[in-house]
Amino acid sequence: ARRVTLDTLTREEVTSWKPGETLLLNGVMLTGRDAAHKRIVDMLDNEEDLPVDLKGRVIYYVGPVNPVRDEVVGPAGPTTSTRMDKFTDQILEQTGLFAMVGKAERGSIAIEAIKKHRSAYLMAVGGAAYLVAQAIKSSRVIAFEDLGMEAIHEFIVEDMPVTVAVDSEGTSVHQIGPAEWAQKILAKNIG
């Protein structure tokens, strides 16, 4: 796995990520889901200043659960990313966001936007919200507090494991993966 320092992330580093590669994310990561994305797009459409700077950042599609006892954050598993597809091009275009983290595959409109803006889509482990939360060392709400769990949080993460699902060229593991595995299975059955 390759360690990535989010606080010094460059576009060149993002474009070096390969489909299927495992990354360990470290540093400041922002969060946002459907409601936050809609509000961001509405603000951009109205030429309003955003309350948070997304330039050069990675956003995690998550609505973290409130912590209990000594937890920094409660379960914080990824949200299905296709719900953000309709916002992807405008947000990448107008904010300078570098990458997104979520679960499941992206639709063609999002993949085209990722390719156009030399961005990336990373998948976190779905169904393991408690385990993902263990990589989160700090959490605070920084924007849209009225949205509750859909507010924008700032997480500080240590070695949060993700997989490159769509690279900056628009290559998706969901498209190339099945063909690669079919070849491996065929080779094993013949051999």
Q: How confident is the model at residue 160 (pLDDT cuts 50, 70, 90)?
A: very high
Three-state SS at 169: coil
Which candidate, 119, 116, 115, places its Cα nearest to that of 97? 119
The 10 Å Cβ neighbour count of residue 46 is 7
- pLDDT of 116 above 90: yes
Question: Mean pLDDT across the stretch 158-177?
Answer: 94
Read off the pLDDT of residues 39-50 as tens digits, 9 standing for 90 and up: 999 999 999 999
Rounded Cα distance, 129 and 126, in Å:
7
Tell me the domains of the chain and their CATH numbers.
Answer: 2-189 (3.20.130.10)
Q: How confident is the model at residue 191 (pLDDT cuts 50, 70, 90)?
A: low
Contact predicate 64/41, CB 8 Å? no
Predicted TM-score (pTM) of the model is 0.92
**What does the DSSP 8-state code read for residue 90?**
H
Q: Is 14 exposed, middle or buried (0-12, 13-18, 19+ CB in 10 A)?
A: buried
Q: What is the pLDDT of residue 146?
A: 98
Read off the pLDDT of residues 83-99 as tens digits, 9 standing for 90 and up: 999 999 999 999 999 99
Q: Which long-range contacts (CB under 8 A, 24 or more apart) does 91-95 make?
A: 91/37, 91/40, 91/41, 91/44, 91/54, 92/116, 92/117, 92/119, 93/117, 94/44, 95/40, 95/44, 95/50, 95/54, 95/55
Rounded Cα distance, 78 and 62, in Å:
5
Q: How confident is the model at residue 186 (pLDDT cuts 50, 70, 90)?
A: confident
Q: What is the pLDDT of residue 68?
A: 86
Q: For the chain, give the mean pLDDT.
A: 94
